[in-house]
Amino acid sequence: MTEQPDKLKQRFGIGLLCSGVLLGALQLAAPWVQAAESEPTQTLKQAKTYTVTSAPIEPLHLDAPTLPDLSGYTAEAVEAKIERSQQGQVVVRRMLQQDALKDFIGGDERLREWVKRQQGMPNAIFVEGGYVTLQDLAKQLPDNQFSQVKPGVYLARLPIVVAQNATLHVDKNVEELRLSQERGAFLVNDGKLFITDTRLTAWREADNGPATFRKPDEFRPFLVSWGGSELYISDSVVTSLGYNTSKSYGVSITQYTPNMHKRLQREEPTGWLLNSEFVDLWYGFYCYEAADVVIKGNTYHDNIVYGIDPHDRSHGLIIAENTVHGTKKKHGIIISREVDDSWIINNKSYDNKLSGIVIDRNSINNLIAYNEVTQNHADGITLYESSHNLLWGNKVLNNARHGIRVRNSVDIRLYENVSAANALTGVYGHIKDLSATDRNIALDPFDTKISMIVVGGTLAANGSGPLSIDSPLSVELYRVKLIAPTKSTGISFSGILGEKQEEILDLMVRRNLAVLIDPVERQTELQD
């Protein structure tokens, strides 16, 4: 970590040196949680009695996870993907009846928006048939549509569409591409779009400056890359894109909407975003039904709702070596709704409005490893209704609520993590009834069950204790350092495990054995 606040140093560093205590306040049923929970949607009967036994050690062994090879994701590799052999063409067409634009002009209201901005039936610039640069656009289009306002600086005053089988390259010879907010410019990629060694900025002509965020529903230019397309951004700066309208969030890689996809049958979109900076976007990144997207080495800061937000049924993603901070409304990094088989590794996520990293809505088989998640204003790492995930070697420090929070999720494996100096609990697991929320249970089903394995790592100096689990199906603990308690009472179990305190201490601390905490009732009896 590059910076640690004085509070963290005092609570964690001094606590470790001075206390020498091997086990702190282990809370396995937080009273404030119990009071807040109502009857679960799919009822899990709360166990009355738990047993504490030693568990076999060998099944708990896992080798360190194999990480994907990131060496091939470079600016040079992006450059090698550019096909320049065939020169493309530039044409201006009406926005109506264009598949790539239907989402943005559907209905009278959205069409009216572009009629007003263009003061007539709206047009768009189309790149077709091959390779095109901004210099080509400037040569072929009138200044009121696209112009070079000063050397290397270009202003688009119409939407730009990269058609299938075409390539648009915003290259190092471009100092900045500006998209006019007043005239309703935006970028749509239906082919291949390369943005390398340059700047992309939503531009407010009235201010002669970036279209900085003012309110959620105010149009701001955006970039969307549709089904079948490829988007590559490397070594660039992207600022002030996006607003609160579907597919217009900022930088998006997304399959076509269901009806369009059924007709067009385009493949899953993909792309690489490398070593770039994304600032003041509604969503720093968004994807939907995308595959094999690589987000590596970027900085996301001061974005509005989310920093990085892969969504519905995206898979095979690599989110690696990014720095995400200062997200204003919600989380730094979130994957949500069946985002599976992906890697979230070696990122730094700090000072975000809510959690640093969130795994949400049935996102499974993901590796969350070696991340530094610090000083977020809610939890560090949060798992909501997302089973079968592995957290390995993360540092989760000094967050305003829980370090690692797990809700309505089973088979959560926590290996070699450090969760320290968080305001509440180091690791907090609970069930929750979501029927009274806006959750669409049919779309996002879940079970009110929780189970986890905690192996290795350290839980230290957390304000409410190292570990709290509400009504688990099972918990296994092995080789976990529970040190530097913040409470004067020291070792103290509460709730359902209070009576088992001595047994847990004997196995876990004195005998260094794995501990299995299990309900006396058979699992089938705990489920309807």
121 or 29: which leads in pLDDT: 121
Opening angle at CA 102, ends 97 and 103, nearest 5: 175
Residue 20's pLDDT is what?
34
Whether 519 has a pLDDT exceeding 90, the answer reads no
Average pLDDT estimate for 102-117: 86
CA dihedral 179, 185, 190, 194 (to 10 degrees): -10
Q: Tell me how crowded residue 104 is: count the other CB atoms within 10 A of its CB.
A: 24
Residue 306's pLDDT is what?
98
Average pLDDT estimate for 315-322: 98
Average pLDDT estimate for 150-161: 98
Contact 272, 296 (CB under 8 A): yes
Confidence of residue 7 (pLDDT cuts 50, 70, 90): very low
Phi, psi angle pair for 370, to nearest 5°: 60, 30
Confidence of residue 496 (pLDDT cuts 50, 70, 90): low
503 or 302: which leads in pLDDT: 302
CA dist 337 and 309 (Å) reads 11
**53-65 pLDDT per residue, tens:** 999 999 999 999 9
What value does the mean pLDDT of the chain take? Answer: 88
Helices (H), 122-208: 134-140
Average pLDDT estimate for 390-397: 98
Query: What are the extents of the domains in the chain?
Result: 8-65+375-528, 91-290
Q: Running DSSP on this structure, what letter comes out for residue 178?
A: E
Fold of 91-290: Pectate Lyase C-like (2.160.20)
Of all helices (H) and strands (E), which one includes residue 34?
helix 31-36
**87-100 pLDDT per residue, tens:** 999 999 999 999 99
Contact 167, 132 (CB under 8 A): yes
- Tallying the residues shown for the chain, one arrives at 528
CA dist 137 and 133 (Å) reads 7
Contact 119, 156 (CB under 8 A): no
Phi, psi angle pair for 381, to nearest 5°: -115, 130
Q: Tell me how crowded residue 357 is: count the other CB atoms within 10 A of its CB.
A: 30
pTM of the model: 0.90
CA dist 275 and 28 (Å) reads 42
**255-264 pLDDT per residue, tens:** 999 999 999 9
Q: Running DSSP on this structure, what letter comes out for residue 494?
A: B
Instruction: Let me know if 388 is a catalytic residue.
Output: no
Q: Running DSSP on this structure, what letter comes out for residue 436?
A: T
Contact 436, 459 (CB under 8 A): no
Q: Which two tokens stand for residue 145?
A: 């549509």
**216-244 pLDDT per residue, tens:** 999 999 999 999 999 999 999 999 999 99
Within the chain, what is the greatest distance between any pair of CA atoms?
81
Q: How far is CA 419 from CA 372, 427, 428, 497, 510, in A?
A: 10, 7, 11, 22, 23
Whether 11 has a pLDDT exceeding 60, the answer reads no
Spatial neighbors of 89 by CB under 8 A, at least 6 apart, are 127, 128, 129, 130, 132
CA dist 346 and 323 (Å) reads 9
Confidence of residue 501 (pLDDT cuts 50, 70, 90): low
Check 61, 261, 301, 311 and give the catalytic one: 311
Contact 431, 407 (CB under 8 A): yes
**431-469 pLDDT per residue, tens:** 998 988 888 888 999 889 999 999 999 999 998 888 888
Contact 492, 25 (CB under 8 A): yes
Sign of the four-CA dihedral 148, 149, 154, 157? negative
Residue 254's pLDDT is what?
98
CA dist 149 and 455 (Å) reads 60
Residue 439's pLDDT is what?
85
Question: SS3 for 219-248, per residue?
Answer: CCCCEEECCCCEEEEECCEEECCCCCCCCC
Residue 48's pLDDT is what?
60
285 or 1: which leads in pLDDT: 285
Average pLDDT estimate for 74-79: 98
Q: How far is CA 38 from CA 33, 41, 193, 427, 446, in A?
A: 10, 9, 50, 22, 16
